[in-house]
Amino acid sequence: MIIIGFPRFIHIYQTASAPAPDAKVVVEEINKILPSYKIDIRPPFKYDEEMIERAKIVDIKQPVEKQPNHEQDSKMMKMTIPLYDGFVMQKELAEMIPTVEISLDHIHIIFTSLLTCTFSEEDWRYHGRAVICGTPSIVSTTGIVEALAKPREFYLAQLLGGMAEDKDILKKKFSGRFIDYGEEDKITAASINYALQAIFFFITSGEPFCNNKDCRLFNAHWQEDLIHTIKKRTLCSYHRNLANKLSKGQTRAGKF
């Protein structure tokens, strides 16, 4: 792994709407792992609504440059939860960060209830994402609930019920096996994982994820895997050692 920098400041932007993590708890957990970093909690990131509208996805089967214009929007099937292209959002928000804070010294992590997504050329469609790493990093709290898959049995029960089975009944049946709205403690715990992924994206060569299912940096695609890492509340030995060396200021640019 290549260490590309040693950031000194981490800025956490709260979200103005639910689901919202407890920012203080997020900061406390990051401080335990990386005590040498200076972390501040900031108010929700202020942005122009028109600017974010440019990131809105209407047709999930078309990349952002081929999205219908506003005149065509009314002809498209609206999604239950609006989707926003994460990289377009990132580009727009980056332009609002003060120039003095655009450097490897600063990591910006914006929590938002907007559902971010990225386009995949493998199946030619958009997929929801819980985190978009970069400047700024964006953690979607709605993505924590919606972007990761629920247990296979949940969807099978839906299918066998002809989609008619009451969702509340299904949620009770599979309670504890996925994160839902209103479960603030779990959303906060998951937010810690994604904030750490955003941080490790910067202190490594853009490799924020881990293959170890016990590690907080594991790139979970299933809710149950995310819940597993939340319960473990740990980093794998490799990333824990890396964090310790970073915190002691012993890391230098180059191969680690």
Q: For each of the chain's 256 residues, which pLDDT tens digit applies?
A: 334 456 889 999 999 899 999 999 999 999 999 998 999 999 999 888 888 889 999 999 999 988 887 555 544 546 689 999 999 999 999 999 999 999 889 999 999 999 999 999 999 999 999 999 999 999 999 999 999 999 999 988 888 775 545 777 888 889 899 999 999 999 999 999 999 999 999 988 788 999 999 999 999 999 999 999 999 999 999 999 999 888 776 444 333 3
pLDDT at position 160 is 79
| pLDDT at residue 253, as a whole number | 38
> Does an H or E element contain 14, and which?
none
Instruction: Say if residues 93 and 86 touch (Cβ distance below 8 Å).
Output: no
CA–chain centroid gap for 110, Å, is 9
pLDDT of residue 72: 55
pLDDT value at position 107? 96
Q: How far apart, in whole angstroms, are the C-alpha atoms of residue 31 and residue 33?
A: 5
Q: What is the pLDDT of residue 194?
A: 98
For the sheet with 38-42, list strands across it.
Answer: 38-42, 9-13, 106-112, 137-140, 131-132
Res 141: pLDDT: 97
Residues 249, 3: contact at Cβ < 8 Å? no
**Integer CA distances (angstroms), 172 to 14, 19, 123, 178, in order:** 30, 20, 32, 11
Domain extents for the chain?
2-251
Q: Which residues contact 197 (CB under 8 A, 6 or more apart)?
A: 131, 133, 208, 209, 217, 219
Residue with tokens 């989609």: 163
Residue 140 to residue 143: CA distance in whole angstroms: 5
**pLDDT value for 92:** 94
Task: Copy the structure tokens of residue 118.
Answer: 């990225």
CATH 3.40.390.10 fits 2-251, yes or no: yes
Q: Which of 102, 103, 126, 101 is nearest to 116 (CA)?
A: 126
d(CA 64, CA 82): 14
Q: How far is CA 63 from the centre of its chain?
A: 20
Predicted pLDDT at 70: 56
- Cβ atoms within 10 Å, residue 180: 14
Which pair of tokens denotes residue 76? 């498209």
Note the helical H segments in the chain.
23-33, 49-53, 70-73, 86-94, 141-146, 152-160, 167-173, 184-203, 223-232, 237-247
Tokens at residue 215, please? 């590690």
Spatial separation of the C-alpha atoms in residues 18 and 141, rounded to whole Å: 8
41 neighbors 12 (Cβ within 8 angstroms): yes
